[in-house]
């Protein structure tokens, strides 16, 4: 191999189409932009525009509320954990974290972590380290001789001074007021 024999792999460099170069080029006149109007202009994308008529997304009624700050746990019931142990996908002696539960096929996506729920029966002694757990799940695991460690801490939004935000402060005052009365 010599330096003058070096060349790109086939398909490595694609020649871009030069538009607006006459009718015989195949991309002449409107240069692939169709005809007149806003969509033929550069930098304009009018999604949902209906020519001045009220657009559909504005005509239909809006209902409900989606909280972007809500916690989103992947849930696992104790009955499914016991099934995984019975089938050999989980070992009873090891500490069960999100990684082990995902490897066993009990959890697909863990956004804010895994939350353990108490539905089903647990016979094996297990040690869980999960983001959260219900009271019934903790009671069932401890009754079987195991333990549950929760790791999730909700994010508290701070203001510029490093103090908790106004909403957190209001809730703390309300909790103090309720406890005092």
Res 132 pLDDT > 80: yes
Cβ-based neighbours of 91, under 8 Å, separated by 6 or more: 85
* Full DSSP string of 46-104: -TT-BTTBPPHHHHSPP-----TTS--PEEEEHHHHHHHHHHTSS-TTSEE-HHHHHHT
Domains and CATH numbers, the chain: 74-150 (3.100.10.10)
Alpha carbon distance 55, 47 (integer Å): 10
Q: What does DSSP say about strands 95-96 and 147-150: parallel, antiparallel, or unpaired?
A: unpaired
For residues 165 and 129, which has the higher predicted lDDT (pLDDT)? 129
Name the pairing type of β-strands 127-130 and 74-77. Answer: unpaired
pLDDT of residue 21: 93
pLDDT digits (tens, 9 = 90+) for 64-121: 998 887 888 999 999 999 999 999 999 888 899 999 999 999 998 878 899 999 999 9
Cα separation, 10 vs 168, in Å, equals 61
pLDDT 10s digits, 23-78: 999 999 999 988 888 788 887 778 888 888 999 999 999 999 988 878 889 999 99
Q: Tell me how far apart the alpha carbons of residues 171 and 181 are, in angstroms, rounded to a whole number.
A: 15
Compute and round to an integer the Cα radius of gyration of the chain: 30
List the structure tokens of 172: 């703390």
pLDDT of residue 126: 94
Q: Residues 135, 116: contact at Cβ < 8 Å?
A: no
- pTM over 0.85? The answer is no
Element (H, E) at 169: helix 166-180
């Amino acid at each position: 191999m010599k330096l003058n024999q070096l060349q790109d792999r086939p398909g490595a460099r694609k020649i871009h189409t030069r538009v607006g170069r006459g009718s015989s080029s195949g991309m002449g006149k409107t240069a692939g932009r169709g005809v007149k109007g806003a969509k033929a202009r550069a930098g304009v994308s009018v999604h949902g525009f209906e020519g001045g008529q009220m657009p559909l997304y504005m005509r239909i009624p809006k209902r409900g509320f989606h909280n972007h700050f809500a916690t989103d746990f992947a849930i696992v019931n104790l009955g499914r954990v016991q099934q995984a142990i019975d089938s050999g996908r989980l070992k009873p002696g090891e500490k069960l974290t999100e990684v082990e539960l995902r490897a066993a096929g009990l959890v697909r996506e863990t956004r804010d972590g895994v939350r353990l729920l108490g539905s089903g029966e647990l016979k094996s002694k297990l040690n869980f380290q999960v983001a959260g757990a219900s009271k019934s799940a903790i009671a069932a695991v401890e009754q079987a001789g195991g333990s549950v460690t929760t790791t999730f801490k909700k994010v508290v939004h701070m203001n510029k001074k490093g103090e908790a935000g106004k909403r957190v402060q209001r809730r703390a005052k309300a909790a103090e007021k309720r406890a005092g009365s």
